[in-house]
A = this chain, B = another copy of it.
């Protein structure tokens, strides 16, 4: 969600909802757009600049007041846990639900969460204070068997299990069962990378090579390249370079300076380098289709 508001993105994967960053006013925005905020199980905070986390205490308080009982997990930088506990100590709040905090690290790629269907990792960004991006990758699910093939050739149960896991199987009688023969082609696996605040940094590409959708900040236009470098932010063209270098399929620009009232020129600058760029907008849902080219 962008616009005049601060960074916060709800990610849905099947029945799992989580939140990437939580700027001031996020709970009000979630209510406005009727996002199912009570379903959010995990919150990832990229860094401790106000526009990326100041809505967190309010959201946690509202969960408490609305009698949430489901556990909540938070991943964020060192310091965030102290901030949370300081607030709740002074407001004399003992949360109704369990809150688990895990500190992120800026040392390379780190696996944060392993779910049966996806995994989430963090990777370092280049900003004024410790900052991480997040990569969400769909995991290979069970392969779906071609029913007609099973009816033609009765096959051992062990072979079925192996094929569903995507592995060829050789039975004790020497018969072999190949995934390519017995299973539907697996749909390509989807991925999303989130680069909240960062200076232009070509080495980022290795963290999300071939990603389906890349969100990359583009605070400034090219004329402000100097200012971007000084403040550890990026221009739209630089974001497009990263998209190109990483082989991303689509680029979502965001975190625009309030100096730009019309963003069409900023978008045009990105598109000179990476045509499949678009502007992130407040309240809009971006879907990564299950099956794509």
Contacts and interface: CB of A to CB of B under 8 A. Distances in A.
Given A5-B28, A24-B28, A82-B86, A58 B48 contact: no
Contact of A58 (B28, B54, B91): B54
A82 B91 contact: no
B28 A91 contact: no
Q: Which of A51, A87, A129 has the most CB of B within 10 A?
A: A87
Interface in A34-82: 48-51, 54-55, 57-58, 61-62, 77-80, 82
Contact of A86 (B27, B51, B55, B86): B86
A82 B82 CA distance: 11
A4 interface: yes
Contact of A24 (B27, B79, B80, B91): B27
Give the oligomeric copy count.
Answer: 2
A86 B57 CA distance: 14
Contacts of A50: 57-58, 61-62, 87, 91
Interface residues on A, range: 20 to 34
A90 interface: yes
A5 B31 CA distance: 11
Contact of A55 (B24, B27, B31): B24
A25 interface: yes
A13 B34 CA distance: 39
Given A28-B4, A50-B58, A87 B83 contact: yes
A128 interface: yes
A4 B31 CA distance: 10
20 contacts: A5-B28, A24-B27, A24-B54, A24-B55, A25-B25, A25-B28, A48-B87, A49-B61, A49-B91, A50-B58, A50-B87, A51-B61, A54-B58, A78-B90, A80-B90, A82-B90, A86-B86, A91-B129, A92-B128, A92-B129
